[in-house]
Amino acid sequence: MAKQKLLEVKNLKQYFPAGRGEVVKAVDGVTFDIYKGETFGLVGESGCGKSTTGRTIIRLYEATDGEVLFNGVNVHGKKSKKELKELNRKMQMIFQDPYASLNPRMTVADIIAEGIDIHGLAKTKEERMQRVYELLETVGLNREHASRYPHEFSGGQRQRIGIARALAVEPEFIIADEPISALDVSIQAQVVNLLKRLQREKGLTYLFIAHDLSMVKYISDRIGVMYFGKMVELAESEELYRNPIHPYTKALLSAIPLPDPETERTRKRIMYDPAQHGYKDGEELEFREITPGHFVLCSEEEYKRYRAMYA
Amino acid sequence: MEKILQVNDLHISFDIHAGEVQAVRGVTFDLYKGETLAIVGESGSGKSVTSKALMRLLPTPPSRIKQGEILFEGKDLTKLSEKDMQSIRGAKISMIFQDPMTSLNPTMTIGKQIMEAILKHQKLSKEEARKRAIELLQLVGIKNAELRMKQYPHQFSGGMRQRVVIAIALACNPKILIADEPTTALDVTIQAQILELMKDIQKKLGMSIIFITHDLGVVANMADRVAVMYAGKIVEIGTVDEIFYNPKHPYTWGLLASMPSLDHKDTELYSIPGSPPDLLNPPKGDAFAPRNPYALKIDYELEPPMFQVSDTHYAATWLLHEKAPKVEPPAIVRERMKRFADIVARKGGKPRG
């Protein structure tokens, strides 16, 4: 099966002014592609720029530099209102906090139908409500919930409402920014299963941003690891867990506690210190392919060493 | 082993205008000297309320200890006056919380905050307290302790702040440290450091830890024994090996099976259907029954008692009754169970206690 690129992120940069003429380089030259129908996981610690990457892709921020191509169209390019609206319909987002991301003064029906109204996807009131009912059922809620307000729901149910809202405009691509971190373990599995089922049924493509690495591994086809605004490693999820190459990825993987006391007793934690690379001044760091589909940010010298070790 | 704390049939309710929320509905457990007992459960299961009750940190009203006792050093903590409690709280039993930013005072230097805890409970001069505070900062792995004493919380990172909070909790060499989700707000690499620090300090000081969390990975890493709470009750309690490799309660099965395992990628995750019960009107019978695919008829009628599985392992499920039908746990759990015999055998016939 030939893979089709849905999203291309090219050397994306997002700098924020930090006062006194200084800038914070939240995202500093990130490049990756997302193929149609796949789930791309983005992991890293807080402050590494993973959420900023997601938000810049969907144009919540104007990119400082670089390009985001969605179906070949530059997301950040100049657009007429109509083009922008069309783009907004195809790309949707699910947020982390199911409490903060739903307007408490709107009914569930109005929250879900907001996108339908904006994009004129329903011709009559009946059709609009019909769509809302269908969406509620798709995400495992029922039609009686339509007239209620967000405070009447539990965290897991709210996250389902957020998913229904994203689905309302029939998007192709959904950015899920830590969609399950605020939920309890037993509810997390429900939401993850729902996301997977929707992907199967509707052929959706996901960018799944998270710090819970075991869930990311479960849901993602490929994973990118970010560290301080840079992507340091990218590989298929099985491969990344089996053969991590970048020392930061190794450190990150060795820090995740697994629900298995036997392995925990023998756990050896690996520390990462950015100084350990011993890069010389002016040494070019590049994102290089070590084995097919497995990229690592490294210097020329490291590249040769990694090639010798892994390829 | 020496029992340091005994909690017997503890009931705690909150009186709100809609009625009585029965947050804790009969919790019984012992804590041994030098061990780590993990309490796991979902939000609303009563794990934090239980731990706050041990410290008598729940405001009354609306909360109310309806019945039960908390025995510590021959005293029932539920009956102590606030004044007597103050000599225990922070001195013999201390607590660290989830969010290291909100548990430190942003307007006080770190040094002052640690010294406050020392001076409150110990007869030391200011200079001695200062020395002790520096020692504590070094103990929790903060470098340049002298300089750091003069800094404010905002000058510390999240992980460093949590180290400071731990230093304050350790200020008086407590017998019991209650840690309520101490690493939930931290990144995994920082979490790993804090967990290692806690284990290290426990080895040095020999205190007991009650570790409250919903992260089963952290439990596997930290705990000697585990209590699983659901809807205000302990539904299963045992050694860490018994809970992870020989669980008996369907809720524990559900928790373990809903975590993605490393080699089950293509199968759908096992998920516990529905959501936890409303403790304003706790259901009749077993509170887990409506979400339990293994529920028996009796579960809807009568609450199961604690059945004994081994000397250290108890579970409250009718499935352990001699007349109950045999059921198959989820596949992921069955695989864990296969390893139990091995692990027990390797440990010389006795699971770790």
Q: Do A189 and B270 touch (CB under 8 A)?
A: yes
A213: chain B residues, CB-CB within 8 Å: 188
Domain assignment present for residue B261? The answer is yes
pLDDT of residue B262: 62
Assess contact for A250 and A263: CB atoms under 8 A.
Answer: no
Whether B40 maps to a domain, the answer reads: yes
> What are the angstrom distances between the C-alpha of B15 and each of B44, B61, B63, B66, B87?
16, 7, 6, 11, 28
Interface contact A261-B214, CB threshold 8 A: no
Is residue B214 located within the same domain as residue B293? Answer: yes
Instruction: Please report where in the chains the tokens 């008086």 appear, as a residue.
Output: B172
Strands A173-177 and B75-76: unpaired
Position B265 scores a pLDDT of 59
Average pLDDT over residues B113-125: 91
DSSP code per residue over B202-215: HHHH--EEEEEES-
Last residue of one domain, picked from the residues B126, B144, B171:
B171
Is residue B202 included in any domain, yes or no? Answer: no
Judge: A186–B258 Cβ closer than 8 Å, yes or no. yes
Report pLDDT for B352: 46
| C-alpha dist (Å) from residue A187 to A69, A194, A271, A273, B276 | 34, 11, 33, 36, 10
Does residue B353 carry a pLDDT above 60?
Answer: no
Same domain, B297 and B281: yes
Q: What is the pLDDT of residues B254-286, one digit of tens each?
A: 999 888 766 655 677 888 887 788 888 888 899
Asked whether residue B149 is assigned to any structural domain, the reply reads: yes
Residue B7, classified by CB atoms within 10 Å of its CB into exposed (0-12), middle (13-18) or buried (19+), is: buried
In terms of CA atoms, which chain A residue is nearest residue B190?
A255
The burial of A242, by beta-carbon neighbours within 10 Å (0-12 exposed, 13-18 middle, 19 or more buried), is given as exposed
Mean pLDDT of chain A: 90
Q: Which of A45, A193, A267 sits opposite B189 (nearest CB)?
A: A45
**A–B CB contacts, 8 A cutoff, strictly below:** 106
Contacts of B265 in chain A (CB under 8 A): 217-218, 238
For residues B100 and B187, give the distance between their C-alpha atoms in angstroms, rounded to a whole number: 13
Q: What is the CATH number of the domain that holds B256?
A: 3.40.50.300
Does residue B217 sit in the same domain as residue B347? yes
Q: How confident is the model over A216-228, as a mean pLDDT?
A: 93
- For residue A168, pLDDT over 80 is answered with yes
8 A C-beta contact, residue B291 and residue B273:
yes
Chain A interface mutation, best of B235, B252, B271, highest count of A Cβ atoms under 10 Å? B271
Query: In this structure, are B167 and B219 located in the same domain?
Result: no
Closest CB from B187, B265, B271 relative to A211: B187
Q: Could you tell me the pLDDT band of residue A284, with boundaries at 50, 70 and 90?
A: confident
Residue A251 with chain B: CB contacts under 8 Å: 189
Closest CA to A256 of A236, A238, A246, A241: A241
Looking at the structure, tell me whether residues B185 and B305 fall in a common domain. yes
Answer with the one of B171, B198, B225 that is the final residue of a domain: B171
Q: Looking at the domain assignment, is residue B72 inside a domain?
A: no
Looking at the structure, do residues B220 and B347 belong to the same domain, yes or no? Answer: yes
Segment B2-58, tens digit of pLDDT: 999 999 999 999 998 888 899 999 999 999 999 999 999 888 889 989 999 999 999
B326 phi/psi in degrees, rounded to 5: -75, 135
Token pair of A44 as six digits: 């890293």
Same structural domain, B167 and B184:
no
The answer to whether residue B71 is domain-embedded is no
Say if residue B122 is in the same domain as residue B136.
Answer: yes
Q: Using an 8 Å Cβ cutoff, are A188 and A163 in contact?
A: no
Q: Mean pLDDT across the stretch A183-208?
A: 88
pLDDT value for B188: 84
Query: In angstroms, rounded to a whole number, what is the distance separating the alpha carbons of residues B256 and A185?
Result: 9
Contacts of A188 in chain B (CB under 8 A): 258
- Both B274 and B139 in one domain: the answer is no
Provide the residue count of chain B. 353
* Confidence (pLDDT) at B42: 85
Q: Identify whether residues B246 and B166 lie together within a single domain.
A: no
| Domains identified in chain B, total number | 2
Q: Which residue has the tokens 């009585």?
A: B20
CA angle in degrees (0–180, nearest 5) for B199-B202-B207 = 145
Residue B46 structure tokens: 């009563």
Give residue-wise pLDDT tens across range B143-166: 889 999 999 998 888 888 888 999
Q: Is the pLDDT of residue A2 over 80?
A: no
pLDDT, residue B108, reads: 94
Categorize the per-residue pLDDT at B105 as very low, low, confident or very high, splitting at 50, 70 and 90: very high
CB–CB contact B275 A157 (8 Å): yes
Range of the domain at B305: 32-59+80-92+177-190+207-352
Residues B264 and B343 in one domain: yes
Which residue of chain A is at minimal alpha-carbon distance from B253?
A186
| Confidence (pLDDT) at B134 | 94
Question: In chain A, what residues touch B343 (CB-CB under 8 Å)?
Answer: 262
Q: Do B188 and A154 touch (CB under 8 A)?
A: no
Same domain, B329 and B213: yes
**Confidence check: pLDDT of A73 > 50:** yes
- Give the whole-angstrom CA distance, residue B256 versus residue B266: 17
ipTM greater than 0.85 = no
**Is residue B197 a part of any domain in this protein?**
no
Domain assignment present for B201: no
What is the pLDDT, as a whole number, of residue B348? Answer: 65
Model confidence, pTM: 0.85
User: How do residues B202-237 score in pLDDT, each as one tens digit?
Assistant: 998 899 999 999 889 999 999 999 999 999 999 999
